[in-house]
Amino acid sequence: DAGITQSPRHKVTETGTPVTLRCHQTENHRYMYWYRQDPGHGLRLIHYSYGVKDTDKGEVSDGYSVSRSKTEDFLLTLESATSSQTSVYFCAISESNSQETQYFGPGTRLLVL
């Protein structure tokens, strides 16, 4: 199994508070991705990174920001959480671009009250 961890695994927070989710990999893969998964919508890409300090927006990036200061870490920040951001968040990695297999972390369940 690819070495991917996510923290925290579960979080409950209140509307308007900032939240940061962390994805950590030990595979030295270049690409990292953040997805959210909601019933009826499947997995949707939020942001992705193609190298240190190189990031780009995905399908549902509004309300989210990311940072990648090291190869192994990719952070997802909700600057001011809203109830619509209640979801399961998955991090994924791939050796190069999306034509390579993506390996997923265990997920973070976020509840915004």
Query: Under the phi-then-psi rule, with left for phi > 0, alpha for psi from -120 to 50, and beta for the rest, what region is 63?
Result: left
With CB under 8 A as the contact rule, the residue among 70, 80, 97, 113 that binds other proteins is 97
Closest CA to 72 of 12, 21, 22: 22
With CB under 8 A as the contact rule, the residue among 28, 69, 82, 101 that binds other proteins is 101
With CB under 8 A as the contact rule, the residue among 8, 9, 56, 82 that binds other proteins is 56
- Tell me how far, at minimum, the Cβ of 100 lies from other proteins, in Å: 9
Query: Rounded to whole angstroms, how far apart are CA atoms 98 and 78?
Result: 24
| CB contact at 8 A, 19 and 13 | yes
The answer to whether residue 105 forms part of the interface with other proteins (CB under 8 A) is yes
User: Binding-site residue total for other proteins (CB under 8 A)?
Assistant: 24
